[in-house]
A and B are shown apart, each in its own frame.
Chain A
Amino acid sequence: EVQLVESGGGLVQPGGSLRLSCAASGFTFSSYWMSWVRQAPGKGLEWVANIKQDGSEKYYVDSVKGRFTISRDNAKNSLYLQMNSLRAEDTAVYYCARELPRFATFDYWGQGTLVTVSS
């Protein structure tokens, strides 16, 4: 069974940093693109970033470029999102999702971790 479990969320002040993790199991993690997708409270979904199987390609939505860094450790079956210079508008539940670029879709999602940026 495919499982994605996020962790690392919490309350952080504006300008602060946070590192999210996503532990994957039930599939060959190193064979898949992975993405982070976020959802602000009461709002819709927003794609944030993705990373190729070997980490050689990474893409970001414009609003987080230069502040967020996506990475992965295939030996640990883990995906990460380093978030710096956090803003109030980054407040959201962050989901990690397995991506199928061939179909431009996300077939499995974790339960999410809440990041709150507030003073």
Chain B
Amino acid sequence: QSALTQPASVSGSPGQSITISCTGTSSDVGGYNYVSWYQQHPGKAPKLMIYEVSNRPSGVSNRFSGSKSGNTASLTISGLQAEDEADYYCSSYTSSSTSLYVFGTGTKVTVL
């Protein structure tokens, strides 16, 4: 089971919007609405930001939104803030015989 493909880095200025893509296959991202997004600051535990493609857990800012088209899911951060600088990982349920879940390669978001 290969990791989902994310861009290594994305950057933006404060107040701007950025989008992170997450590309998989019909066995994971494209086959199920079970895409999640996690934020991870250096040395910290991952934090759930989005689940089931576009749902936000309680307490997560509405500046974070998710979507999916075919085998590619996306996370958009609007009104970029300094505290959004972190690594972001997507994940999906997978029908692969080798694992139940697959994560993305990770994207470093830099606020310029």
The answer to whether A and B interact is yes
List the count of A-B residue pairs having beta carbons below 8 Å apart: 66
In the complex, A97 Cα to B104 Cα: how many Å? 17
Q: Does the CB pair B100–A62 fall under 8 Å?
A: no
28 A-B pairs with C-beta separation under 8 A: A44-B103, A44-B106, A45-B89, A45-B106, A47-B91, A47-B100, A47-B101, A47-B102, A47-B103, A50-B100, A61-B98, A61-B99, A62-B97, A62-B98, A62-B99, A103-B52, A104-B51, A104-B52, A104-B101, A105-B36, A105-B48, A106-B38, A106-B48, A106-B91, A109-B45, A109-B46, A110-B45, A112-B45
Other CB < 8 Å A-B pairs besides A45-B103, A105-B91, 10 of them? A47-B102, A47-B103, A103-B51, A103-B55, A104-B52, A104-B93, A105-B34, A106-B46, A106-B48, A110-B45
Q: Which residues of A contact B (CB under 8 A)?
A: 37, 44-47, 50, 59, 61-62, 95, 100, 103-112
Q: Does the CB pair A111–B99 fall under 8 Å?
A: no
> B3 on the interface (CB 8 Å rule)?
yes
> B11 on the interface (CB 8 Å rule)?
no
Q: Does the CB pair B48–A44 fall under 8 Å?
A: no
Q: Does the CB pair B57–A107 fall under 8 Å?
A: yes
Interface size class of B (residues with CB under 8 A): 20 to 34
Q: Does the CB pair B45–A111 fall under 8 Å?
A: yes
Contact A105 to B103, CB < 8 A, known contacts A62-B98, A110-B45: no
Hey, which chain B residues are within 8 Å of A44, CB to CB?
A: 3, 89, 103-106
